[in-house]
């Protein structure tokens, strides 16, 4: 306390302290005035951490003052860079806070410019670092061409979002503030009627729909990349009693002549019905059809989304002549307040993760949840991997039942994906977590579960295919003999596998009668030997 640093200039003066991302620190700041300026006036001032107000410091004439905090570092230095974009000295953006180690983009549009328009970046009041930018693009907008080739004839979309029944494009923002543009469906279908329903949906794409009162089959033509690309296709349905009949209809979906799903819509005023498919596109126009199954039930649709996937690590066991129909995708350990529509920064493919807590297990959440996706197999979002269910003791197992009762006459071929990361924050180094995975009492895999905070972006994905199931499947996760922690599970996806080698085929499988004959034949051969 015999020395100090005094700041007589500038309103804000900052230290940059080297830290390790996501580690917990105990910072302590010490102040001893000692009448160093001979004014006998101990000063009062504020302390900030990463731009956040920490404490107002009231110093003393002859007593040392200490302030402590427990803090989790968000980056490699305890600092914050925050700035705004100016055009002609007018702020035109929300504060921009570049994340460490990744790129972000910001778009500005519909502003008037002249030959001497000025652009500037200005630090916000709570920024401790100066503004920065890597690149800037500026475009002029011309009137849309009225003649010539339709853009849909020349390109295939890697991401196509359609707001069915809308008369104009729809703009939405996800929870990360990323703007999404949903197209009208008029370029992709000529039949059907636009319907506007009461705007009681948080997700305003569900406020319109297209109904098909005429014809038994009505089809969209979707211009997707036709080089065998793998897409996640998602169809959304929100009835909203648009016809005043209080009779949500049922009908079928087809994709390129293959039965995709039997749709049963709902009277729910909150949750749309979604059907999802992982599908490999084979031609320039993908045909997506709604098929009437009853004369007095009118098919409709609210939204269509197609997102191209990285074929090298997304659902890598999927075969070329198959498609994956989503049965369930569950984010375990997360309560219902967690939004199942995760933002684009964390979930680039717009997958829907249903939150589920289970009272028979411990529902655990990591202390820190980064806003990002994890790079690796299937790119799970951080908010999903930061929650989990855990067995209450190391000798207990996790038991989950998956019901395939809609396919009662066939042995269904299923594709299971299990996600593991122990959310325990910075556990002691002598702890390990290793589990055996069983389906219907058959051991199919053993995997190590990475511990949260031990290594960056470390997680384990177990993909199981093919798994033959009749009626239901029982999943069991048990600790191995050398594990020191109870088993955990973060998330699980379950798909039914469709044969799409020929139009009209349904779920991959075989009849129970054939299955029984095959078992008897195998038994007879074994008995003979």
pLDDT at site 424: 78
pLDDT at site 32: 94
Q: Which residues 6+ apart lie within 8 Å of 55 measured at CB?
A: 46, 47, 67, 69
In the chain, what percentage of residues exceed pLDDT 90? 49
Q: What's the rounded mean pLDDT across residues 104-118?
A: 74
pLDDT at site 81: 80
pLDDT tens digits, 478-521: 999 999 999 999 999 999 999 998 765 455 554 433 333 333 43
pLDDT tens digits, 294-339: 999 999 999 999 999 998 889 999 999 999 999 999 999 998 877 7
Most confident range, picked from 156-165, 373-382, 446-455: 156-165
CA 501, distance to chain mean position in Å, is 30
Query: Is 506 within 8 Å of 495 (Cβ atoms)?
Result: no
Between 11 and 409, the more confident residue is: 11
Identify the burial level of 262 via C-beta atoms within 10 angstroms of its C-beta, where 0-12 means exposed, 13-18 middle and 19 or more buried: middle
* Residue burial 433-447, b: 16+ Cβ < 10 Å; e: rest: bbbbbbbeeeeebeb
Between 15 and 391, the more confident residue is: 391
pLDDT tens digits, 351-369: 999 999 999 999 999 877 7
Q: Which of 162-166, 377-381, 399-403, 507-511 is the least confident region?
A: 507-511
For the cut 60, the answer to whether the pLDDT of residue 209 exceeds it is yes
Picking from 202, 269, 204, the residue whose alpha carbon sits closest to that of residue 240 is: 269
Between 23 and 191, the more confident residue is: 191
Greatest alpha-carbon pair distance for the chain in Å reads 105
CA 65, distance to chain mean position in Å, is 46
Q: Which residues 6+ apart lie within 8 Å of 441 measured at CB?
A: 474, 476
For the cut 90, the answer to whether the pLDDT of residue 281 exceeds it is yes
Q: Which of 182-196, 251-265, 342-356 is the least confident region?
A: 342-356
Q: Which residues 6+ apart lie within 8 Å of 297 measured at CB?
A: 247, 249, 250, 251
For the cut 70, the answer to whether the pLDDT of residue 427 exceeds it is no
Q: What's the rounded mean pLDDT across residues 442-471?
A: 87
Q: What's the rounded mean pLDDT across residues 231-238?
A: 97
For the cut 60, the answer to whether the pLDDT of residue 101 exceeds it is no
Identify the burial level of 413 via C-beta atoms within 10 angstroms of its C-beta, where 0-12 means exposed, 13-18 middle and 19 or more buried: buried
pTM above 0.85, yes or no: no
pLDDT at site 174: 58
pLDDT at site 527: 35
d(C-alpha 380, C-alpha 488), whole Å? 16
Q: What's the rounded mean pLDDT across residues 106-135?
A: 80
pLDDT at site 526: 37
Picking from 384, 381, 376, 387, the residue whose alpha carbon sits closest to that of residue 345 is: 381
> CA distances (Å), 165 to each of 151, 169, 286, 341, in order?
21, 10, 20, 22
For the cut 50, the answer to whether the pLDDT of residue 141 exceeds it is yes
d(C-alpha 507, C-alpha 407), whole Å? 8
pLDDT at site 71: 77
Q: Which of 163-167, 409-413, 467-471 is the least confident region?
A: 409-413
Q: What's the rounded mean pLDDT across residues 112-117?
A: 74
pLDDT at site 245: 94
Q: What's the rounded mean pLDDT across residues 105-122?
A: 77
* Residue burial 75-110, b: 16+ Cβ < 10 Å; e: rest: bebbbbbbbbbebeeeeeeeebebeeeeeeeeeeee
pLDDT tens digits, 29-62: 999 999 989 999 999 998 887 767 788 899 998 8
Q: Which of 10-14, 152-156, 447-451, 520-524 is the least confident region?
A: 520-524
The helix or strand, by DSSP H or E, that contains position 84, with its residue range, turns out to be strand 83-87
Most confident range, picked from 143-147, 149-153, 165-169, 467-471: 467-471
pLDDT at site 48: 82
């Amino acid at each position: 306390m015999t020395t100090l640093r005094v700041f007589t200039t500038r309103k804000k003066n900052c230290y940059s302290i080297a830290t390790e991302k996501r580690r917990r620190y105990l910072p302590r700041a010490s102040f001893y005035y000692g009448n160093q300026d001979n004014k006998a006036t101990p000063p009062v001032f504020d302390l900030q951490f990463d731009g956040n107000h920490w404490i107002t410091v009231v110093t003393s004439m002859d007593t040392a003052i200490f302030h402590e905090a427990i803090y989790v570092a968000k980056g490699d230095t305890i600092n914050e860079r925050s700035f705004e974009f100016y055009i002609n000295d007018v702020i035109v953006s929300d504060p921009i806070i570049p994340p460490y180690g990744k790129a972000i983009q910001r778009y500005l549009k519909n502003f008037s410019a002249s030959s001497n328009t000025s652009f500037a970046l200005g630090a916000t009041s709570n920024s401790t670092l100066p503004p920065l930018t890597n690149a800037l693009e500026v475009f002029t907008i011309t009137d849309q061409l009225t003649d010539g080739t339709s853009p849909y004839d020349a390109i295939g979309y890697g991401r196509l979002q359609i707001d069915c029944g809308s008369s104009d494009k729809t703009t939405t923002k996800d929870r990360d503030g990323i703007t999404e543009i949903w197209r009208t469906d008029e370029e992709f279908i000529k039949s059907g009627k636009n319907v506007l329903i009461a705007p009681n949906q948080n997700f305003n794409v569900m406020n319109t729909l297209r109904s098909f009162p005429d014809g038994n089959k009505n089809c969209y033509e979707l211009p997707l990349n036709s080089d065998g690309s793998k897409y996640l296709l998602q169809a959304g349905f929100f009835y909203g009693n648009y016809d005043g009949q209080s009779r949500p209809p049922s009908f079928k979906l087809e994709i390129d002549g293959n039965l995709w799903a039997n749709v049963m819509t709902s009277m729910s005023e909150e949750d749309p019905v979604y059907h999802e498919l992982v599908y490999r596109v084979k031609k320039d126009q993908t045909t997506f059809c709604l098929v009437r199954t009853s004369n007095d039930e009118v098919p409709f649709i609210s939204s269509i989304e197609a997102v191209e996937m990285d074929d090298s690590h997304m659902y890598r066991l999927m075969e070329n002549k198959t498609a994956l129909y989503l049965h369930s995708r569950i984010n375990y350990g997360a309560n219902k307040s967690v939004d199942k529509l995760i933002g684009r920064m964390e979930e680039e493919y717009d997958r829907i993760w249903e939150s589920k807590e289970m009272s028979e297990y411990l529902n655990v959440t990591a202390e820190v949840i980064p806003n990002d996706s994890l790079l690796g197999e299937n790119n799970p979002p951080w908010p999903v991997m930061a929650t989990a269910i855990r067995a209450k003791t190391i000798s207990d197992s996790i038991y989950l039942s998956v019901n395939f009762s809609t396919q009662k006459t066939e042995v269904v071929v299923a594709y299971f994906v299990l996600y593991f990361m122990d959310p325990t924050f910075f556990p002691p180094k002598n702890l390990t977590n290793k589990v055996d995975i069983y389906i219907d009492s058959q051991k199919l895999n053993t995997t190590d579960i990475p511990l949260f905070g031990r290594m960056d972006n470390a997680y384990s994905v177990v993909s199981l295919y093919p798994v033959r199931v009749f009626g239901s499947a029982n999943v069991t996760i048990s600790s191995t003999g050398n594990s020191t922690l109870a088993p955990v599970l973060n998330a699980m996806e379950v798909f039914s596998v469709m044969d799409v080698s020929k139009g009209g085929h349904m779920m991959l499988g075989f009849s129970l009668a054939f299955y029984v004959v095959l078992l008897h034949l195998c038994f007879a051969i074994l008995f003979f030997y």
